[in-house]
Structure 1
Amino acid sequence: MESKDKAACYHIARIFEAEGDYSRAVDFYTKAHAYNSAIRLVKEHDMRDLLANLCLMAGGSEIVEAARYFEDIPGYTHQAVMLYHKAGMIGRALDLAFRAEQFSALDLVTKDLHAGCDPNVLKFRQAVELCHARNVRLTDKVAELMTPTK
């Protein structure tokens, strides 16, 4: 069943939701650009793998809300880091990546730092690079000392 009519897609999504076919309901809410409804279903029915993409499509505060959601779920820290990064919350993304020892995510976030960034965040990048260069073990204590204040 295909339709480019957003109103029709929304109506079909509501039918699928009422029938308990949540996966198809999410698909049709997405086609209808009813991202909040799709996000609600994804959260209610533990379809976490769809959440990040839906929030990126929705934009705005949905991205930050999803990042907070993922931050509390073991094994999903990388999603939270990516979403904070996309939301422009570079300091928060760096802090979380560092605390969770997500070094590949940390590298990706630090590559986007530039002269216009918060000076504390730029110093954080330098500190991380220095630790890598000198093979300094990054303990919780060291991470806490290096992390920019919020």
Structure 2
Amino acid sequence: MVSVEDLLRHAEQLGVKLVEHPLPKGYCGFYLHPQRIICLDSGLSQRQYLCTLQHELIHAEFRDDGCSPTGKPELRARRETASRLIDLREYAACENEYSNDLFHIALELDVTKQVIEDYRELVLPKMIAQQHNFVNSR
């Protein structure tokens, strides 16, 4: 499991500065590429902080300079965040135990419900398609 400390080290390696500030309702964080700054809402829970920091670091890695909520950079950041924070075996065990209870799956995996939704919508279908292509290529 990725820790906040791991992500803080990664930010340092990328040369990205982190700041915390109260943000308007609905905003957890954002990345400013020209300044190489990630701003996180100062009121985030530990779980939200981890997920938001991972998300914004992906924007930094790809040097995203602004993005729309439905644009390719945002979808990539959401997919990569879910992929990096969730282990497939752990997810499968939680899915088996909690079925469609996203809240309890998120609690068990120590991520936000949004990251679970992104994992289901953006990561799992791609994994299934890759496995299908592998099986069919044999």
TM over 0.5: no
TM-score, length of structure 2 as denominator length? 0.28
Structure that is richer in strand per residue: 2
TM-score, length of structure 1 as denominator length? 0.27
Structure that is richer in helix per residue: 1
Q: Determine which structure has more spread, i.e. the larger CA radius of gyration.
A: 1
